[in-house]
Structure 1
Amino acid sequence: MLVATTGFIVLTGATTASRLQVIGTVERDSAAAYDVLVRPKGSRTAQEAARGRVQPNYLSGLFGGISPAQYRQVAAVDGVEVAAPIAMLGHSIRWVPVEVDLTAAVDRDADRQVIRIDPTFSAERGLSRAAARPLYVYVTRNEVAQPVGPIDSLTGPVPHTNGRSYPLAHCDGAISGGALEVLPDGRTEPICGIPQPVGAPGSSRSELENTGFWTFQLRPDGRFADVEMAYDGEVPTGTFRPRVRDRLTVPVSAHVPFLLAAVDPPAEERLVGLSSAVVQGRALRPDDLPRDLPGIQNRQFPVLATSRPYVDGNISVAFTRLRPDRVAGLSETAVSRALEAAEAIPAGSVRLDVAAAQEAQLAKALRDSGSCCFGELRSVLQAGPPGYEELPDGTLRARAVDPDPGVYGEARERDMPVPWLGADTSFRTLHRLETRGLGGRKMPGWEPVGVFDPERLTRFGDLSRVPLETYEPPTAEGADEPSRTALGDQPLFPGGNPAGYLSTPPFLLTNLESLPKLLEGAPRAQRDAPISAVRVRVEDVDGYSEHSAERVRLVAEQIAEATGLDVDITLGSSPAPQTVELPAGSFGRPELRLTENWSALGVGSVIVQAVDRKSVLLFLLVLVVCALFLGNAVTAAVRDRRSELALLACLGWSARRISLLVLGEVATLGLVAGLLSVALATPISAALGIDVGWWRALLAVPVALLLALVAGLTPALLASRAHPAAALRPAVAAVRRGTRPRTLFQLALTNLARTPGRTLLGAGALAIGVAALTLVGTVSYAFRGAVVGSLLGDAISLDVRGADLIAAAATMLLGAAAVADVIYLGVRDRAAELATLRAIGWTDGALARLIAYEALALGALGAGSGALLGLLGAVGLIGALPAGLLLVAGVTAVAGIVVSGLAALLPAALLRRLPAARLLAEE
C-alpha cells in the first residue's frame, strides 16, 4: 500500500507538472502577429478544408474579394485591436541591369578587339539552366564619335561626342544613327554591330533572346569612353553626353517579377512594426499618392520595397576575346560572319547575383529620388493558386498547366519583358490586370520611397508562425534523399517565374489610397472589392489560453456574422509539414519531393485538450493498477487465513463482523501507508525533480484509505462466507484424474493448473500491468499523433515523454510486485511439497528452474492477455489500430514476461532457506 500510494502521488505530481509545462509552452510560443484571418467568401481550397491547414503564401493567387465596406465592418467589431487589410495586385516585370565587368578581359595591346559575353541563366539551386544569346563589346583605340542629339536633320551634319559634326551613320542602306569610328586618316566608318531582333506588336522577349552590341574607345590613359543619357531634372532629354570610366562594364538583362500589394501603413505598423524596419529612404505614409510627372504622360505610384527579394537567380558569364579583321564599315550581317570566323581566346568568367543587382538598383533609385520611369505597371500579371492531386499516402502532387508566354505581351507594344523561366513548366494560370486608365493617356509606373528589411519586423515565435505571412519567403525542403541531394541540402526558393510553384512575397507595398488610381482600368469586381484578406489581432490576447481562445472565438463569430466572409481562427496555429511532389521542369530541374510548412490551425487547442485527456487517463490507470495490486494482496492474505476465519465463525462470529474485521485491518494498513507516504512523497519527488507540494502529499492519506477499502471489499465478502467446518477440514484438493508430467516445464504447468484461482489472479495482476503499460504507450502515441506534425506539437511532445516514462515504469513495477507476491505465496503454500522433492534428491538448481518456469508461464499468460487488452483499449481510445501500436504491445508483452522471470528470483532464493526437516516432520 505504501508503494502504491507513494507511486500514485509522485506520478500525479509528475503528470500535473508535465501538463503545466505543456500549457506554459503553448501560451509562451503561440503569440503571433494576428489571431483571426478573414478571407473572401469561398476562398478556402479543398486541401485547406480537408486538412485544417492554410497553404503558405497563398496570397500570391488571391486578388481582391473584400470590399472597403466589409473591411470597415471587420474593424468595427468589438474586441478587434488591429485590422490590417492587404490588397494583392499582381506582378510587375522589371528589367534589372546586372553589371558585368569586362576590364580584365580587355587586351591592352590590341588596336581592335571584340569581347563576346555568353550568359547562362540559372535558378532553383542551379537545377534550371538555360544559355542566352551572346552579347558583344567592341573596343578600339581609334576615336569613337556618337551623335549627341537632338537630331534636326537626317541628311545634314549632326553634332557628335568628339565635338565635330558628321552625317548620321548608315547601316545596310538605312540611317542607323549609331557610332562612327574615326580612322587615323580622318575618315569615318559606321559601327553597325549585329542584327537586332524586333518582334511584332504584342510580342514578348525573355533574357535568353536578348542580344547587344556596345562600342567603347580605349583611351591612351587606359580608361574607356562611351555615352550616357542626359536628363533635365527628372525627365530624360533624348540627348546623350560623353562619359569616361575607369572600368569597362555593360549590363546583362535580368527580368524580375515584383509582386505588388497595397496595405494600410498605420495598421501594418501596429501589426508588425513596418516603419521601424525601414533601412533606406522613409516609411510609406497613408497620404502618399500617385503623382503625374510634368512634360510626359507618366503616373508614378509610391512604393516601399523590400531589401530581401528572396529570388534564387544567378547568371554565369563566360568571356571570349575575338580578333576579327574588321568591324567598322561592315554591314550587320557581315559583322556577324566576321565574328563567327574570328580567332577566339577564352578571357575569363564570372558569376553574377541577380538579387544583389536588384538591391543596388533600388539604392540608386533612392539616391536619384524623383527620376522618371523606374518601374513600369503597364503589364501587371495576376497568377492563380496552384492546383493539386492528392496521392494515396497523403502527398500532394502539384498540377502542371501549359505556360502562356503571350500573356506577357501588350497589343500596342513590342518585345515586352518576360522572365526566362516564364517558358518553364507552370503551376499557376496567368492573366493580365488592365492598369492603363484614362484611355491610356497615362503610363503607370512605380517609384520607391524607401526600403524595408523583413528581418527587422516584429518577430514572433517560430513554433507558431501564422499563415499568410506577407513578409516571409515560401521555402520547401527536400523530402527524400534524391531531392535533398539535388538541392544541395538547401531549401528551394522562388525562381522568378510568376507562374511557378513557389511565389515570392510582395516586393512592393503601396498604400490603400493609391488603389482607385491604380485600378482605373481593372474589372469592376476588383475595383469594388480590392482587398484580398484582413489580418485581425484581438484585444487582450497574447498567446493561447482558454480565456484567449474564447475571446477570439467570439470575435471571429461576430466578424463572420457581420460580413459573411470566410473566417479562420489562427490563434494557436503552428507550421506543419506537408509533402508535395513537384513535376520536372523544362530547363533541367528534375522531379522533386518537397516538404512545405503549411499552417495547421487550432494546434494550441488540440494540444491542451490532448494533455488534459492524457492526464486523466494516466491518473485512472495508476489508480486501477494500484487497486488491483492491493486487491490481490488482500485476497491472498484472506485465503492464507481461511482456517483462522473459519474458527472465528465456529466461535459465533457473524459474517458482518468478520467482514468488518478484514476491512478494519486493511483500513489500518491504508492509514499507516498514507501517513508514511506523506513523509516519503516529498523527498522522492524532490529527488526526481518533481514539485509535489504539501497539499498533494497530504492527499496520500485519503487516497490510501480509499485504495485499501476498495481493495479489501471483495476479500472481506469472501471472508464472511468462510464455512465453520473449514477449520477442521484439511486444505487438500479433490482427487481428480491427472497426467504424469515428463518434463520440468510440464510439471510447472501442472502446478499452475492445481490452483487455477491463484494462477488467474497472478496472471490477471500482470495482465493489468501490461495492459496499463500498453495503454500508457497508446495514450502517448495518440497524444503525439494529435499534435506532432506541427512545429509546436513536435516541441511539446518532447516535454511529455518524461512523465509518460515514469507512469509506464510504475505500472510495470506494480505488475511485477503482484507477480512476485503470487509466486511467493505459491512457494510458501507448497513448502512441504518442495521440501519432499529436495529430500528425494532434487537439487536447488532444479527447484529454482521449476519456480522460474512457473513464473515465465504465468508471465506469458498475463503478458499476452494484457497486451491484447491493451490493444483493444487502444482501438477504443483512438479509433484505429496503427502498426506502431502493435509494436508497442509486442514490446510490453516481452517486457511482462521478462519481469515475471525476474519476479521469480526472490521466491527462488527463499527455497534454500526452507526448513526441510521441520516441514517433513509436520507433514
Structure 2
Amino acid sequence: MLGFIWGQLRGRAGRSVALLAGVLVATTGFVVLTGATTTSRLDVTGAVERNTRAAYDILVRPNGARTPLEAERGLVRPNYLSGLFGGITPAQYEQVKEVAGVDVAAPIAMLGYSTSTVPVRFDVTRAVDPSLERQVIRLNPTFTAERGLSTAPSSPRYVYVTKRPLLYPEWGGDVDVPSSPYSDGRTYKYDEYCGQVPREVLPDGRSEPICDPYLAVRSGNAGQSSERENWSVDTVRLLPDGRFEANRWLPGRAERVVTDQLVVTYRVTVPFLLAAVDPEAEQRLVGLDDAVTEGRSLRLDDTTTETSPGPSVTERSVPVLSTSRPYLDVTVRSALTRLPQARPAGLPIGELERTLGRATGLGVGTEEYTLTDGYRDLLAKGISKTGCCTGELQTIMQAGAPEYERLPDGALRAVARPPFDHALYGGESALNLHSRPWLADDNGFRPVTALPQPPSGGHLQLRFWQTVGIFDPEKLSGFSDLSRVPLETYEPPRTDGADERSRQALGGRPLEPSGNPAGYLSSPPLLLTNLAAVPKLLEGDVTPTRTAPISAIRVRVSDVAGYTDRSAERVRLIAERIADTTGLDVDLTFGSSPAPQTVELPAGSFGRPELRLTEPWSALGVASVITRAVDRKSLVLFGLVLVVCGLFLGNAVSAAVRDRRRELAVLACLGWSARRIAALVLGEVAALGLAAGLLALGLAFPLAAALDIGIGWRQAVLAVPVALLLALVAGLVPALRAAGAHPAAALRPLVAPARWVRRPRSLFGMALVNLVRTPGRTLLGAGALAIGVTALTLVSAAAYAFRGAIVGSLLGDTISLNVRSADTLAAVVTVLLGAGAVADVLYLNVRDRAAELSTLRAVGWTDATLARLVGYEGLLIGALGAVAGAGLGLAGAAWLVGGLPSALILVAAAVALVGVLITCLAALVPAALLRRLPTARLLAEE
C-alpha cells in the first residue's frame, strides 16, 4: 500500500505539490500566529499596564453629580471639578478612608473664584518729549483673549508728565479724615471725587490737585464697574537729569520713587479658582509638597487667621499655595499718543474726562503685555504682603457646569448664556476692592452664582488669601501621560480645532482659558488651602457648602501597581464598598484614558467666531476593552486561517478524487473494498500532511525571527500533529465519497443540468447557470474567499480604524490593537488561499465541461469569448465571497470595537473590492487553459 501511495503522489506531482503547499501554509501560519498571539498580548498588556496607572483609581462625587451624558457614553468631562461645589460631608470622607483596601483618600473642596490683580506694565519712556514742560501720554488699551479672537477696547489711561514740582500726600491709611498732610508740610482738604492725589506747584507758588478717578473708584465698591470702564490719570515729574519721580502707594503709607524709565503699571482683574485639600493626602497622592518651588508647603495646622485692625473691622486671612503657572490667555495692547497741549491740573473729574478725551496729539507707538508676563513679575517680587501674592474673598464666585445639545453627527454643542448678573461682583452686601473682569461682559456657558458673605451686623468683615508658597502643577507626580488628562485635578484644559476653519482661526494653537468665570474652558484650581481652614472661612454662611464642603474624593487602592485582571477586580470591589457605605456616586477611573469629543462653541459677543473643538474627555474602562479586543482579534484570525486552509485542502483533495474517478472505479471493479479505497486516499493525504508538518517545523523559526516573534520549541513541534490532523480532516469527506461511489459513476455525466434555471440569453447569464449547476463547489470557493476577506477586513480595520474607533482614546491611539506583521501576513495568505480555491473551482469546471466548451469552440465561439465566460464565473464567485466576507468582517470588527464607525464600513468596502480583483486575477489561470483543450479528441469521445 505504501509503495502504491508513493507512486500515486509521484505520478501526479503537480497536484501533490499543490496539496503539500496548502498544508504547509496552514501549518506554518498556525505556528507563527500562535507565537504572534503570545507576543502581541505581552506587548499590549505590558503597554496597558505601564500607561494606565493614574494618580487615583476611583473617583467619588456627590450623589447625582454624574450627568446623563457621562453615564450614557461612559465618559467624564474635562475639569469635572469645575461646577462642582461641595456635596460630600466630612463624615462621608471618614467613611471612605475606613474602607478596607483604600490606600489614599484625597478630598478636594472647590470653594470658588477669588478676584486678584495682575500687573500690566507699559514702558512709555520713548513716548515722552523731554523738551516739553508739560505733556500727557494717552494710552488706549485693548484687551484680547482666546488666541486674539475676543477683543474689547478699554477706556483710555493717561500719564501726566510735568517738569514742575509736585506735592505728595503723606497718607496714613485712614480714608475717613477730612484732610491730609502733604510733603510741603501743609494740610489740604480731602476731595471725595479726586481722592488723595498729587498737587502741581504753579509758578506763583499755589498748587492744584491732579485728579485720579481710579483712586475714587477704589475708595468705593470697585466691583460695580468693569475694568474696561475704568480710566485713570497717573502723575509723574520729569527731573532735570531726565529721570522720573512718582508716588507709589504701599500698605499704610506712600513712597516717592525715582526711575530712569517711565513704566506705567495697571492692574488687571483675574479670577483664580480656590480649592481646599488635605495636605497630607495630597502629598501621598500627587506629591504636592515636592512641587513647591518657593516658600513653604501647606501644613496640617494651617487655618484661617483673624485680626482686628480697627474697632469695627475684622480681617480673615487664608493661607494658600499659589500656582507658578496662571494658564491665562490674555494680552493687553495699548496705542500711545502724546498730547502736548493737555493741562489736567485743577480740573474736576467731569471736565478732566472731557478735556483729555477731546485732546488731539501725535501717535508715538504701541506697547503689548501678556498677563502671563505680569504674573511672572509678581512671582519675581517674592512672597510677602507687598509682593506675591494676595487676593480678596469678599464675594466668592461659583460657576456651574456647562450644558450641551447633541448634534446629529454625534458632536456636542455648548449652550450659550447671556452675561451673568454683574451685581454679583458689586452688590450692596459685598465690598469688592477689584473691578470685575472684562470678559465677564461676554456671553458665557456656565451659570454663575455668588457665595454670599455672612451678615456683618454693622461690623466690616474683610476676607483675603495670602500666599505662603508657590507650587508648579507640572511637577506633580503619580500618573502617566496617557491617562492624566483630564482626570487629573491640576491639568489645564486645552482644546484644539476640530476642523480646518477652527484651526485657522486659532492659528494652529489650542484654545485656553480666558479668565471669564462663565467661560467654557475653566482653569484648574490654582490656589490651594488647607481643608481645616474652610469652617472658619465660611463661618456664618448659610449655604450647604459650609456643612458639606467636599466636592470629590480621589481614591487610590492599595496593592495595585498596573492594569491586570486581578487589579481591575480589586478596584471594582472596593468601589462597590464605597458606594454601598456612603451612597455617593462612584466611578472607576482605573484603566481610563482621554477620549476626543467634538464640541461646538457658539460665537462670542467680543468677536470670537463659532468654533468646533476637539476636547479630551476621559473614557472609562479603556484598558479592559483593549486587552479583551487583542485576545478576540488573535483568536478570530487563528480560527479563520485554519478554516480557510481546511476548505482549500478539502476542495483540492476533492478535485484530486474527481480527477481519478475512472481509476478508482477500475480499482473497485478489480475487487478493492470501499475501506481500502478510502485508506488509499487518506494515506496519500496523510503523507502530504506529515511532509508539510516537517517542513513547517523547519520554516517556523526563520520566519518568526524575520517577523520579530518569539516561538518556543513546544509551539514549533506542534506543527507536525497539526499538519497531519488538518490534512486528514480535509481528506475525510472526499475519501468517504470515493469509497462509496459506484463503479458505473465513471460513465455518468460529471455535471448535472440545472433544469430550474431559465435558458440564458447572454454570456453573463450563461456564467450564472454554470455556477448554479454545481452549487456545492461554487459555495465552497466563495466561502473560502469570504473567510479570507473576513480576515483581511479585521486586520485592515485594526490597522486603519481602531486607533480612533476602538475606544476613541489616547491610550487606544498609542497602543491600538498592536497589529503585527504576522497578523497581516496571515490575513493576506487567507485571501490568497481563498482566491486559489476559486481558481481551483474554475479549473474543475473547465475540466468537467471540457466537452461542452469544445463544442462551443467548434460552432464558432472564439477563445476570447470562452475566456470571458470563465472570467464572468470567477467574477460572480468573487463578488459573492467578497461581499459575504466583508459583511462578516464588518460584523466581527464591530464586535471588537463595540460599535460601527463609518471608517470600518469604508475599510470593509475597500477590502471587498480587493478580494474581487484578486479573484478576477486568479480566474486568468483556468481561462488560459482553454487554449490547451484537445477539441478534436474530446468531440470524438463524445
Q: Normalising to structure 1: TM-score of the pair?
A: 0.90
| Partner amino acid, structure 1, of 2:144 | S
Does 1:674 pair with 2:693? yes
Displacement after TM superposition at 1:182 (Å): 1.6
Residue 381 of structure 2: SS of its match in structure 1? helix
| 1:63 CA displacement | 0.9
What aligned pairs does 1:215-294 form with structure 2 within 5 A after superposition?
Answer: 215-229=235-249, 236-237=251-252, 239-293=253-307
Question: 1:243: how far off?
Answer: 2.7
Cα distance in 2 between the residues matched to 1:745 and 1:408:
81
Distance (Å, rounded) in 1 between the aligned partners of 2:394 and 2:758: 100
Query: Aligned to 1:379, what secondary structure does the other structure show?
Result: strand
Contact kept? 1:856, 1:897, Cα under 8 Å: no
- Distance apart, 1:267 and its partner CA: 1.5
In structure 1, give the amino acid aligned to 2:894: I
Q: Which residue number in structure 1 is paired with residue 7 of structure 2?
A: none
The answer to whether residue 557 in structure 2 is matched with residue 533 in structure 1 is no
TM-superposed CA distance for 1:111, in Å, is: 0.5
Could you tell me whether the CA contact under 8 Å between 2:161 and 2:237 is conserved in 1?
yes
Q: More deviation in 19-28 or 594-603?
A: 19-28
Q: What is the deviation of 1:535? A: 0.9
Cα 1:122–1:75 change in 2 (3 A) is same
How many angstroms apart in 2 are the aligned matches of 1:7 and 1:509?
A: 59
Change in Cα spacing, 1:878 to 1:158, as seen in structure 2 (3 Å) is: closer
Q: Does 1:318 align with 2:332?
A: no
Matches within 5 A, 1:80-479: 80-149=102-171, 159-161=181-183, 164-168=184-188, 177-192=196-211, 204-229=224-249, 236-237=251-252, 239-293=253-307, 295-296=309-310, 297-324=314-341, 326-364=343-381, 366=383, 368=384, 374-402=390-418, 403-413=420-430, 417-436=435-454, 442-458=461-477, 460-465=479-484, 467-479=486-498
For 1:378, what is the secondary structure of its paired residue? strand
Higher mean alpha-carbon deviation, 566-575 vs 191-200, is at: 191-200
One-letter code of the match for 2:297? A
**Partners of 2:606 and 2:614 in 1: CA distance:** 22
**Residues 689-717 of structure 1: per-residue CA shift (max 9 Å, x gap):** 33233222222222222222221222122
* 8 Å contact kept, 2:160–2:233: yes
The CA distance in 1 between the partners of 2:894 and 2:538, in whole Å, is 53
Question: 1:527 and 1:677, CA in 2 relative to 1: closer, same or farther beyond 3 A?
Answer: same
Moved more, 687-696 or 23-32: 687-696
Partners of 2:42 and 2:272 lie apart in 1 by 47
Aligned equivalent of 2:36, options 6, 10, 14:
14
Q: Does 1:506 align with 2:549?
A: no
Partner of 2:5: none
CA spacing shift, 1:436–1:658, aligned 2, 3 Å: same
Q: Assess, with a 3 A threshold, how the Cα gap between structure 1 residues 782 and 710 changes in structure 2: closer, same or farther.
A: farther
Q: How far apart in 1 are the matches of 2:174 and 2:469?
A: 41
CA contact (8 A) 1:435 1:520 kept: no
Tell me the alpha carbon deviations over residues 55-93 of structure 1, each in whole angstroms, 9 at most, x when there is no partner: 011212111111112112212222222111111100001
Structure 2 vs 1, CA of residues 157 and 826 (structure 1 numbering), >3 Å: closer, same or farther? closer
- Is the Cα–Cα contact under 8 Å of residues 494 and 510 in structure 2 kept in the other structure? yes
Alpha-carbon distance in 2 for matches of 1:305, 1:91:
13
Aligned to 1:515: 534
CA contact (8 A) 2:625 2:807 kept: no
Contact kept in structure 2, 1:168 and 1:177, CA below 8 Å: no
How far did residue 503 of structure 1 move?
Answer: 0.8
CA deviation profile, 1:769-824 (whole Å, cap 9, x unmatched):
34554465567788667624111112222622645432321111111222333344
State whether residues 379 and 410 of structure 1, in contact with CA within 8 Å, keep that contact through their aligned partners in structure 2.
no
* Whole-angstrom CA distance in 1 between matches of 2:781 and 2:430: 91
Cα-to-partner distance string for 1:626-666 (whole Å, 9 max, x where unaligned): 11111111111221222233333334444344334333332
Q: How many Å apart are 1:522 and its aligned residue?
A: 2.5
Q: Unpaired runs of 5+ in structure 1?
A: 231-235
Tell me: CA distance 1:266–1:916, structure 2 relative to 1, closer, same or farther (3 Å). same
**Residue in structure 1 matching 2:914, options 871, 895, 903:** 895
Distance 2:128 2:354 in 1: 22
Q: Which range moves more in the overlay, 708-717 or 574-583?
A: 708-717
The range that moved more, 31-40 or 244-253, is: 244-253
**Distance verdict in 2 for CA 1:364–1:754, change over 3 Å:** closer
**Do the aligned partners of residues 421 and 753 (structure 1) sit closer, same or farther apart at CA in structure 2, a change above 3 Å counting?**
closer
Displacement of 1:551: 1.5
**1:233 counterpart residue number:** none
Following TM superposition, by how much is the alpha carbon of 1:301 offset from its aligned partner in structure 2, in angstroms? 1.1
- Farther-moved stretch of structure 1 (133-142 vs 395-404): 395-404
Q: Which amino acid aligns with 1:265?
A: P
CA distance, structure 1, for counterparts of residue 103 and residue 177 of structure 2: 71
Could you say which residue in structure 2 is the equivalent of 1:50?
72
Find the counterpart in structure 1 of residue 62 from structure 2: 40
Change (3 A) 1:918 1:531: same
The one of 544, 566, 575 equivalent to 2:563 is 544
Equivalent residue of 1:59, what SS?
coil
- Deviations 1:215-261 (CA, angstroms, capped at 9, x unpaired): 2111112222222345xxxxx43x43433222223322311001100
Deviation of 1:106 (Å): 1.3
Alpha-carbon distance in structure 2 between the residues aligned to 1:286 and 1:80 = 21
Q: What is the identity percentage for the equivalent residue pairs of Structure 1 and Structure 2?
A: 59
Q: Which moved more, 1:774-783 or 1:338-347?
A: 774-783
Change (3 A) 1:310 1:646: same
Distance 1:522 1:709, change over 3 A: farther
CA distance in 2, matches of 1:224, 1:916: 114
In structure 2, what is the equivalent of residue 860 of structure 1? 876
Aligned partners of 2:397, 2:767: CA distance in 1, in Å? 83
Moved more, 217-226 or 41-50: 217-226
By how many angstroms is 1:672 displaced? Answer: 2.2
